[in-house]
Amino acid sequence: ASCLPDPFEGLDAAARENAEIAATALDATTVWTLDAADAAKFDYARAATFGHITAGGAHALLAAARRLAGRPVSKLVDLGSGAGHVVIYAAALAPNVTATGHELAAGRHRAAMRARAALPSSIARRCDFVEGDMLRADLSRADVVFASTLALGEELRRRLAEKLAKEVLPGAVVFSSTRLLGGPGDRPHVVAPMSWSPGHEVA
């Protein structure tokens, strides 16, 4: 028997079916390593590290976002979206959510676009991907922001924290996989399974 966690943990039958469709598209296109051109874009060595959220992890994030916001959520922005997992799982699991990912690495951005192209139109039309710097992302309509900051350097985390403080809408929910510099110390934590750890906490 496998000791690996169920990547669809917590999903009902309908959500699991959509998540499996999304996972098939993502598994066929995900790029785990960077070529030299993409690696050169990162000024902090660990920023090129790659891991991704599972469908169960995305489900946990969406449920926590609704709970913390006290209302339905409709627009998610993923800063550093990699091969597209958060964006695609969010659209697959929540039919009222549109999601946009911003990714600096061209190879990973192309992988996300290939995964999107393999999805049914009912999911694909609510996914968007932008190749570029997360610090230039438009957050003006986002009511959920996710940033996988585990591999970012201190300076980039500081600049990201400043951007979020200035641009995120009042009442929006922000998830970060590490404490952003200057952020509150008493934040709620959400256990969101990732490819590298089934018990990863996101705050």
Query: 85-143, pLDDT tens digit by residue?
Result: 999 999 999 999 999 999 998 999 999 999 999 999 999 999 999 999 999 999 999 99
Which of these, 62, 53, 124, lies nearest to 93 by C-alpha position?
62
When pLDDT is averaged across residues 151-161 and rounded to a whole number, the result is 84
Count CB atoms within 10 A of the CB of residue 102. Answer: 24
Q: How far apart (Å, rounded) are the C-alpha atoms in residues 202 and 78?
A: 14
End-to-end CA distance of the chain: 32
Which tokens in the block code for residue 84?
Answer: 């597209």
Residue type, 69: A
- 166-192 pLDDT, tens digit per residue, is 999 999 999 988 777 555 445 555 545
